[in-house]
Amino acid sequence: MAQFQLNILGCGSAIPTARHNPSSQIIDIRDNLFMIDCGEGSQLTMRKMRLKYARLNNIFISHLHGDHCLGLTGLLSSMALQEKSGTLTIHIFEEGADLFDQQLKFFCRDTPYEIKFNIIKPERATIFESNAITVETIPLFHRVPCVGFLFKEKPKLRHLKGDMVKFYEIPVKDIHGIKEGNDFITPQGVLVPNSHLTSDPSPSMSYAYCSDTAFNPQVAESVKGVNTIYHEATYTNEFISIAGKRGHSTSAQAAQIAKMAGAERLILGHFSKRYRDESGLLNEAKTIFDNTILANDGMRIDLL
Ligand SMILES: [Zn+2]
């Protein structure tokens, strides 16, 4: 079972090519699947990567350009034919909810599962929370309203020191509280500080998806301290002015954002179809931020 795994379904820009599908990713958190964007053909890649429809309960759409959402109706229709059950929530701008609601009423009249729309806005907000994670929107700077998504694992419980539990004969009823950071008071009234009983918890993971956006330092500010950042890198530096005009970034600009954010790792994606290979994009980014990799369709990356 994957603990926290990023699956890249597509990382090309506007037009699907033989090299890349349009944008779509799935984060697999202990067999719960979270899709980010759903470009055309995402359902096929999902099947090729053996990511199960039944496990997908949340889809996050960054903006309403076709390369980020035209796969949605087809995917939802196939999920209905595959007898998916339960509830699927689509986190999307209001206009998108209206649009897809109409399509679903026409193409998917009798879905065996419930489809809910959670209306999001182009501003910073927590839009999803479970026992394990939170998801926040990050305002981006594109030609239409657009947000990124920041996935954060909640702080984990502290690790118990087994020998200390034995030594102080700590009753079972107190164990959970101690893992949460409580001190222990012995039957004789002596306080044992939590630091004697536990060690630090395993680190919590965070992942930021930033596509599509022009270069803007506010993006770095929004994701400060993130572990892994996926940032669009549509162009190499020679097209920097086109990038700005079209609300996109160069790979060097993506690297600057990763550096300013203090990220540990950068994944580049949303490549222009003009590139037959993306080594130029990678090289330009690496001069600024060394721990950079290129996304690719079908790629799986452990985020923990
Ligand atoms: Zn795009």
* CA of residue 211 to ligand 1 center, whole Å: 7
Tell me: the pLDDT tens digits for 119-157? 999 999 999 999 999 999 999 999 999 999 999 999 889
Question: Which pLDDT score is estimated for 138?
Answer: 96
Range of the domain at 188: 159-199
CATH code of the domain in which 228 resides: 3.60.15.10
Mean pLDDT over each residue of the chain, to the nearest integer? 94
Same domain, 76 and 170: no
Residue 304 has pLDDT above 90, yes or no: no
Please answer whether residues 233 and 258 qualify as being in contact, where contact means their C-beta atoms are separated by less than 8 angstroms.
no
211 and 191 fall within a common domain: no
Ligand 1 midpoint to CA 72 (Å): 15
Q: Is the peptide bond before 297 cis (omega within 30 degrees of 0)?
A: no
Are 33 and 45 in contact by the 8 Å Cβ rule? The answer is no
Model-level pTM?
A: 0.90
Residue 16 scores a pLDDT above 90: no
Distance 237 CA to ligand 1 centre (A): 18
Question: What does residue 269 show for φ and ψ, rounded to 5 degrees?
Answer: -160, -170
SS3 string of the chain?
CCCCEEEEEECECCCCCCCCCCCEEEEEECCEEEEEEECCCHHHHHHHCCCCHHHEEEEECCCCCHHHHCCHHHHHHHHHHCCCCCEEEEEECHHHHHHHHHHHHHHCCCCCCEEEEEECCCCCEEEEECCCEEEEEEECCCCCCCEEEEEEECCCCCEECHHHHHHCCCCHHHHHHHHCCCCEECCCCCEECHHHHEECCCCCCEEEEECCCCCCHHHHHHCCCCCEEEEECCECHHHHHHHHHHCCCEHHHHHHHHHHHCCCEEEEECECCCCCCCHHHHHHHHCCCCCEEECCCCCEEECC
Other C-beta atoms closer than 10 Å to the C-beta of 286 total 17
| 60 and 174 housed in the same domain | no
Last residue of a domain, one of 168, 183, 199: 199
Q: How far is the CA of 115 from the centre of ligand 1 (A)?
A: 25
**Closest CA relative to residue 141, chosen from 215, 91, 223:** 215
pLDDT of the residue at 267: 98
Shared-domain flag, residues 71 and 186: no
Asked if 135 and 171 sit in the same domain, the reply is: no
For residues 185 and 109, membership in a common domain is answered with no
Measure 25 CA to ligand 1 centroid, in angstroms.
13
Same-domain pairing of 206 and 195: no
**Sign of the dihedral defined by the CA atoms of residues 243, 296, 145, 76, in that order:** positive
Q: Are 199 and 214 in contact (CB under 8 A)?
A: no
Amino acid at 181: G
Rounded to the nearest angstrom, the distance between the alpha carbon of 67 and the centre of ligand 1 is: 5
Tens of pLDDT, residues 180-239 = 999 999 999 999 999 999 999 988 899 999 999 999 999 999 999 999 999 999 999 999
Q: What residues form DSSP beta bridges with 235?
A: 250
Please tell me whether residues 165 and 257 are part of one structural domain.
Answer: no
Cβ–Cβ < 8 Å for 222, 139: yes
pLDDT digits (tens, 9 = 90+) for 235-286: 999 999 999 899 999 999 999 999 999 999 999 999 988 888 899 999 999 9
What is the number of domains present in the chain?
A: 2
Catalytic residues: 67
Same domain (yes/no): 226, 101? yes
Distance (Å, whole) CA 208 – CA 249? 16
pLDDT value at residue 224? 96
Report CA(136)–ligand 1 centroid distance (Å): 20
Cβ contact 113:79 at 8 Å: yes
Query: What distance in Å separates the CA atoms of residue 182 and residue 194, rounded to the nearest whole number?
Result: 6
- Whether residues 242 and 95 share a domain: the answer is yes
Same domain, 45 and 64: yes
* Percent of the chain predicted with pLDDT > 70: 100
**149 and 165 fall within a common domain:** no
- Whole-number Å distance, alpha carbon 71 to ligand 1 midpoint, is 13
Distance between Cα 13 and ligand 1 center (Å): 5
